[in-house]
Amino acid sequence: MGVHHGFVPYAVGLAGGDLVFKLALKSRVV
């Protein structure tokens, strides 16, 4: 349970960071 509790926020944070990075890249290109 401890590993699961630590992995989910990490995975969500990783996905969120990737999304923000892509948005920043898009706004920079446009």
pLDDT 10s per residue in the chain (30 long)?
A: 556 667 777 878 888 888 888 888 888 876
pTM for this prediction: 0.45
Q: In b/e form, how buried is each residue of 3-30, taking b as 16+ CB within 10 angstroms?
A: eeeeeeeeeeeeeeeeeeeeeeeeeeee
pLDDT at 12: 82
Quickly count: other Cβ atoms within 10 Å of residue 1's Cβ: 5
